[in-house]
Amino acid sequence: MCCFSGPVRDVSATKIFARLEPAAEGAPARQVIAYAMELTAAQDVAMVLPLPTPADSPEDAVRFVNLEGYPELFDRLFEAFPRPQSRGRGLDSDSLAPNEGKRLEVHAVGAFEASFVPRRADFARLDARFRLPERAWDGLPGYADFGFAVFKLKAGERKKVHPMAFSFPTRHPTRLFFPTVHVHDGTAPAQARFDHTLYWQVAPEQEVEGDEQARWQESPGTADAHVDAKKAQGLVRGDWHLHMHAIVGRRPNRDVLLRVK
């Protein structure tokens, strides 16, 4: 997703990694996400990532991962593929009542400050600078019961910083979720310009279904040929293959869900 709390000059080269984790007994399945991009902003802003967390998830449901020591993670993921991915067209109430309770916890995660917002109403517990404009929600009716990961980004010219990363409980135990919906100017348009490369892993006995499966690439070997799984802090499984798909150009403004079976 590229949803920002304020104006940004430019966002490009977005890269997202996703992997499902097995559900522990009596607990919901979890998914990991690593996210990187290049950003130019004139003022401090927050990036807001909607997450399909189960309803009423607790405030500690999201576990943030500090990748400050592995800024080159996505470079290593890209190297796992013998040639660049072709840049073709891609894949296609009371709960909202104000909540003025205690401030949400802020986590120091390397170069970022991050918070988990359990539901839309809890944005009232964040600094106003790091909330989405109210008008943006008019174009996001499907996110009323989602949770949100919020990363606070510093103003400055185009720069590349280490990836943001976290794991979260998911309501979709057989879906890989990629936050790709756009809010750049306080609105969520029906169409948006994409410049995204998606990476993911599934267990060797599993496969992913989708309308453009023929366009996906699978790495010829396992991830550990290029990725240091220890430095990636368990986000990437070294003994599994990787998959990659590029989404470039104007397309419907929505998140990407891939079916896993």
**pTM for the structure as a whole:** 0.85
- Return the number of other C-beta atoms located less than 10 Å from residue 11's C-beta: 19
Beta pairing, strands 164-169 & 63-66:
antiparallel
Helix (H, G, I), strand (E, B) or coil at 77: helix
**121/234 Cα distance (integer angstroms):** 32
Domain 2-92+96-260 has CATH 2.40.128: no
DSSP string of 1-31, one letter each residue: -EEBSS--SEEEEEEEEEEEEPPPTTS--EE
- Binned average pLDDT, 10 residues per bin, the chain of 261 residues: 73 91 84 91 84 93 95 96 56 40 81 90 85 81 89 70 92 94 81 92 89 77 97 97 93 91 89
- pLDDT confidence of residue 158: 58
User: For the purposes of burial, counting CB atoms within 10 Å of the CB of 14, is it exposed (0-12), middle (13-18) or buried (19 or more)?
Assistant: buried
- pLDDT confidence of residue 93: 34
The domains of the chain are located at 2-92+96-260
